[in-house]
Amino acid sequence: MTQLSFSEVEDWLDKHAEQSVDYFIRKMELSSINKWLVNHGFLTIDDYVTTSSRRGSTSSGNVSPGGMYSSGTEGFTLTVGPPPGVAGGAHHAPAPAVTLNGNTTSHMRRNSSKKCLRHDFARAKSKSVFRTHEVPGHAKDPTSSRRSSLKDMRKYTSLPPNSINMLSLLIESKVRLPQCGPTHSRATKKELLSSLGERDFLLSIIRDIGSDFDLKSLSHKAVDNMCVLLDTDGASLFLVDGPRGGRQTLVSKVFDVHSGVSQFLFPAGTGPGDNQVQVPWGVGILGHVAETGETVNLKVACEDPRFDDEVDRITGYHTESLLCMAVKNAYGEVIAVAQVINKNEEQDDGDFTEKDEKLLETYLQFVGIGITNAQIVEISRQEYDRNRKLLEVVHDLFEEQTSIEKVILKIMQRAQRLLKCERAAVLLTDENSEGMKFSKLFELTNPVNGQKTNSMNFKNFHQHGERGEVSSYFLGLAEKVAESGEVINVAECIEVGKSKGENVNSLLAMPIRNKNYQIIGVASIFNKLTGLPFDENDEQLFEAFTIFCGLGIHNTLIYSEIEKAMARQKVSIEVLSYHATASSKEVETLIELEVPAADELNLYSLSFDDFALNERQMLLGAVSMFLELGLVKRFAIDKETLYKFLLTVKKNYRDVPYHNWRHAFNVAQVMFAILMGCEMKGTFSDLEVLGMFVGCLCHDLDHRGTNNSFQEKAGSALALLYGTTNTMEHHHFNHAVMILSSENLNIFSSLSAENFALVMKVLKHSILATDLSTYFELRHRFFALVEDHSYSWDREDHRELLRSMLMTAADLAASSKPWEVQQKVATLVTTEFFCQGDKERNELKLQPQALMDREKQHELPQLQISWITEICLPLYRSLGKMNPKLNVMSEGAVENMRQWAKLAAVSNTIKSEKIDPPG
């Protein structure tokens, strides 16, 4: 016969799950089931039956006091438990007895067995979930047990059935914390000592502290027991706090009397009412004993140089004799220091003897065991609390994934609560920059006071860009963490903001990683509220915290990308539904027409009339400018492709009052006049000229008649897709790319890959430069270069700056045109602005700014004067200093200001007459 090994049998059982379950149900004994239940944190079936029998009937049957399951529908009685006449439960019998219709058998029928086991197992598991403490073998008081179980049931069934409560409940059901026994007074213990004798009393107080796992309660009992055992006036027990080999202190949970040290400090958030003090390591008698482990026995305490009578003077108490001894754990490490003072003068003249030392040493050995056990339980409690808090972190982060700002805010609030610190900060890395740079800084500076602070109770939540005022020291640490992936824990006081008087007493910084383990940011916490540095436990907890934060941020960014993709799709559909490419018939019709010379259309002049040409003439004028600039010949642009490109660009401008195809043509004409009429074409390369000129024609593609501010306020798909910086300009560029990427529309098709990349770079830069925010950012630098004559057009950065200024000058050139043109353009611009103002007032329920408020159109002349004075004229004058031929623009702008001033004067006169009528 073949001998099978255990592993072979186990493999067969794994592969044949159904047969394994079938065999388990038919053959498995109740004792084995009970072992499985106990190993997995549940009640045994006997315990369950004993408890549930007191609750009455259930929907599936009735449980009798003897553990009988009665079914009225099937007509049989099933008893799970020991056979009649056998004492004990499943642990005393090899197999359960089953009574079926009055007959006892050692096995059950298969169908009944399945039903019973499923029922008992489910009920036992249900009971286990609601259990939050150690359950004794059998409850002595049925009524008390029933009330307790119902109380626990009510406690948890009242919670909302969401994921965080279910997870917290599951963790708590697995944590079994011992309960503390009653505490006797010192007077009662003295009576016990006299009645029991020293030996029996010592055993009783050892048992007393052995069942207490709360450090404060244990300390209180130990202090009382030492006073009674050695017949002294008072005692103290100081526990060692802090990492071994690090910054350790002595902390008294219960401070009875004199500590024998001149410096006693109340921890942050505590006071004398808490009866808790801290003693520095190595200071005074207590510190000496903690540091050396020696026993100190003083007959006259005040004669010892380590003793200080400060507390005596404060309390009016006088310390005579003193016995101080170290409490050690199983490894011989000092974990606490015990001290008793002023022995009863009737015993040994009030001095502590060798017998007292041995008695105290004996007792403190058990105190050491009790403290060790209590600390283990305390660690378990802390771990349980941390797990619950981390579950809350997970719940918060994955519940809110629509906004990176909201996720970061929750991260910092949780960090403050979790690690009890004053400040928290999160820096996100910039993926688009070279090297390690941060794109955003989020900081929460208001300290959180315990559990009372909710998610809305905070102050000073800041979001800075790269130009924000960030401490160079802190930024340097964050960059180091992001580059190396290391954890930085700073424990010493460092001044990070001398002007503001800000200090960092402790700092913990860790990298935040995404699911691919890539560093996407740095999380930092500052200044622990206790005043102590962040320890190893804080590091472990913060590390787990940053892992969840990284996943939350990563998911939020992915969600944002999905939203952008949906917005991109929406915009594309919108564009395609509105626009179409030029037809072949339109191209053929335009090609047959004669292209006029640029000077015939007055295209070289900066005083060109913007309304002199019709739409077809503007298309031919654009072809003429391409030819005059030499771009068609230089870059071998196909004639049909050029015509189709221009027709398509025209079609992709919307029918809005101002930002339409005519405006695009006029901007291109001004650029042409600057390059050719003002002889600046030689300043740039042919590729730069091509990119700038095409940029002028495409710089407002698909403009909707509303500006960037409106896109942000309305939360449009464009703002979601491109962000709130250069929103419309990014859309114009991408629309130009879409046209150039279409079949038979790419006028750059003859360029090499290198030249194509360069011209597209110039094209993008030119279009983005038409955003006034970019102009305001760059103009002071340009003005300074011109004023100092320090520019050099051979330098790429100087030429790039000049291209930006010329794009803005061409875009705003209407302010420099003859008065008739300027007034007509201003009317069109105002009409478009008023339409946006109406949308803001009616759709967004916002008050539009004066320039767009239809109700303030009488202020138009003064607004035009401010526009020319503050925005246009400084640029025109600076360009005129660089190239005198451009002074035409500043001269035209000044003349237009005079005309607007006349209208403003008339408007003011009419307004004053309305306010103060004659007579």
| Distance in Å from the first CA to the final CA of the chain | 131
Q: In this structure, are residues 448 and 528 in contact, taking their beta carbons and an 8 Å threshold?
A: no
User: How far is the C-alpha of 229 from the C-alpha of 198, rounded, in Å?
Assistant: 8
User: How far is the C-alpha of 882 from the C-alpha of 896, rounded, in Å?
Assistant: 23
Q: Tell me if 133 is assigned to a ligand binding site.
A: no
Cα–Cα separations (whole angstroms), residue 779 to 86, 464, 788? 99, 23, 14
Q: Tell me if 811 is assigned to a ligand binding site.
A: yes
Q: Tell me if 146 is assigned to a ligand binding site.
A: no
In what helix (H) or strand (E) does residue 621 lie, and over which residues does it extend?
Answer: helix 615-628
User: How far is the C-alpha of 429 from the C-alpha of 518, rounded, in Å?
Assistant: 11
User: How far is the C-alpha of 420 from the C-alpha of 415, rounded, in Å?
Assistant: 8
Q: Tell me if 430 is assigned to a ligand binding site.
A: no
Per the annotation, the verdict on 659 as an active-site residue is yes
User: How far is the C-alpha of 578 from the C-alpha of 571, rounded, in Å?
Assistant: 11
Q: Tell me if 789 is assigned to a ligand binding site.
A: no
Q: Tell me if 862 is assigned to a ligand binding site.
A: no
User: How far is the C-alpha of 495 from the C-alpha of 468, rounded, in Å?
Assistant: 19
Q: Which two tokens stand for residue 50?
A: 């004993």
Q: Tell me if 540 is assigned to a ligand binding site.
A: no
Q: In this structure, are residues 78 and 72 in contact, taking their beta carbons and an 8 Å threshold?
A: no
| Strands 296-298 vs 277-280: parallel, antiparallel or unpaired | unpaired
Burial of 886 (0-12, 13-18, 19+ CB in 10 A): buried
Catalytic residue among 659, 731, 732, 735: 659
Identify which of 556, 606, 542 has the alpha carbon closest to the alpha carbon of residue 815. Answer: 606
Phi, psi of 68 (to 5 degrees): -85, 135
Burial of 845 (0-12, 13-18, 19+ CB in 10 A): exposed
Q: Tell me if 659 is assigned to a ligand binding site.
A: yes
Q: Tell me if 489 is assigned to a ligand binding site.
A: no
User: How far is the C-alpha of 432 from the C-alpha of 138, rounded, in Å?
Assistant: 67
Amino acid at 531: G
- Per this entry, what is the length of the chain? 919
Q: What is the 3 state secondary structure string of 760-775?
A: HHHHHHHHHCCCHHHH
Neighbour order of strands in the sheet with 62-63: 62-63, 68-71, 76-79
Hey, which residues does 103 pair with through a beta bridge?
A: 100
Q: In this structure, are residues 439 and 429 in contact, taking their beta carbons and an 8 Å threshold?
A: yes
User: How far is the C-alpha of 132 from the C-alpha of 170, rounded, in Å?
Assistant: 10
Q: Which residues are annotated as a binding site for Zn(2+)?
A: 663, 699-700, 811
**Positions marked active-site:** 659
Q: Which residues are annotated as a binding site?
A: 659-663, 699-700, 811, 864
Q: Which residues are annotated as a binding site for AMP?
A: 659-663, 700, 811, 864
